[in-house]
Structure 1
Amino acid sequence: MTREFGGWVLGLGVLAVMSAAGAWAEDLPIRKAGLWEIKLAHTGSPLPSLTMQHCTDETVDREMNNMVSPMAKQICSKQDTQKTATGYVSDSLCSVAGISVSSHSEISGDFNSAYTVTTTSHSDLGSKGTPHDAVTTIEAKWLGACKPDQKPGDIVMPGGGFKLNVRDAEKLKNLLPGAK
């Protein structure tokens, strides 16, 4: 894996983690502090599946919510999260660069040892192409305390050694193709 491709994949992984945090908004519980293993799987998408580790604490989780929530409010005409008997459901309707995306997420778990987020999305590409449906599953499990060389906010891609702290969101612009 080249450094550029690895950085691009890490950037997508960070965005996925932040997107999940956005679905949580203020309504979902804060995750237990420590090291979480997060597996992302995509169906109906060219994005690769990936596994990463995220060192977090209460402050970082709240910061991620505060960072994502204003962005979502700017691009989403609908964001609704409701508590259910088995967890939470979240529905949103957003528009980015002329592409309308509706999504439905089902969130379950205790946020202390594990949680799962399954998001079904529909993209209406308008004149840019055929509508697209995709399913993204995030499976997260708590591994224990963060490693000695990690600080809250660090996201690490195992095997590749790519590391980025979510507090350094500006660096994401350099990792994503076409971003400025």
Structure 2
Amino acid sequence: MRSGQRRSPGTGNSSAAFCIGAVVSLLFVVQAAADDAPARKAGLWEIKTTIGGHAVTVKQCIDAATDRMLQSSTGPLSAQACPSRQVSKSDSGFTIESRCSFNGKPASARAVVTGSFDSAYTMTVTAEGKDLPAARMTMEGKWLGACAADQKPGDVIMSNGVKVNVPDLQKRALAPDAATQSDK
């Protein structure tokens, strides 16, 4: 903000809500792109995701099963939210055009994927819709080699070094009241 300008009440909250909505709509098309993408090579991948100038980099140790799971992190809602999808393949990759519905309002998204799922790829997603700002996300994946000896498929290593295993988290989340069972 420039000096002398006043922030309107609620401006920050509405901007945050718009950004969250844009990110959610982008996640729908990322799921759609993952459904149409070939499997990535097993091993350790570095994934840099940039949204609105902010980048986050993680490393993923994958095999075929965990690759499908990690690439479809938005779950089954995507097919319902984006029922119309057209995939165009080219020599350098593919493009996915999706027509979606976000909170009952129309939205569209375009994902352009280039590169190789054996070594390095880039996916650029743009999305827009009624009452949503245009949003852009870029994911850059680079194969680093085999997973380290202390890693197992499904491990995601955050930029701060924290490691979580997505399949283990899902099993714990689905276990009936696992936390209270261990206290007894």
Return the TM-score normalized by structure 1.
0.69
Among candidates 96, 103, 111, match of residue 97 of structure 1 = 103
Q: Counterpart of 1:31?
A: 40
Gaps of 5+ in 1: 1-15, 126-130, 173-180
Tell me how far 1:57 sits from its aligned partner. Answer: 1.1
Q: Counterpart of 2:88?
A: 82
Quote the sequence identity (%).
35
CA contact (8 A) 1:79 1:92 kept: yes
Tell me how far 1:53 sits from its aligned partner. Answer: 0.6
Secondary structure of the equivalent of 2:151? coil
Asked if residue 165 in structure 1 is aligned to residue 171 in structure 2, the reply is no
Deviates more, 1:62-71 or 1:52-61: 62-71
Q: How does 1:7-156 map to 2 (within 5 A)?
A: 20-25=30-35, 27-43=36-52, 48-64=54-70, 70-125=76-131, 131-156=132-157
Tell me how far 1:58 sits from its aligned partner. Answer: 1.2
Gaps of 5+ in 2: 1-25, 174-184
CA contact (8 A) 2:42 2:63 kept: yes
Shift of the 82–19 alpha-carbon distance from structure 1 to 2, 3 Å rule, reads same
Shift of the 21–60 alpha-carbon distance from structure 1 to 2, 3 Å rule, reads farther
Rg (Cα) greater in structure: 2
- Deviation track 1:121-165 (CA, whole Å, cap 9, x = no partner) reads 11322xxxxx40111010110011112222212212122415241
For residues 129 and 170 of structure 2, what CA distance do their matches in structure 1 show? Answer: 25
Aligned length: 149
Tell me how far 1:66 sits from its aligned partner. Answer: 6.9
For residues 51 and 147 of structure 2, what CA distance do their matches in structure 1 show? Answer: 27
For residues 126 and 32 of structure 2, what CA distance do their matches in structure 1 show? Answer: 15
Return the TM-score normalized by structure 2.
0.68
- Match for 1:150: what amino acid? Q
Deviates more, 1:53-62 or 1:107-116: 53-62
- Deviation track 1:40-84 (CA, whole Å, cap 9, x = no partner) reads 1113x7xx3200011111122234567757322121131222211
- Deviation track 1:59-111 (CA, whole Å, cap 9, x = no partner) reads 22234567757322121131222211210001112223335431101101111
CA contact (8 A) 1:18 1:64 kept: no
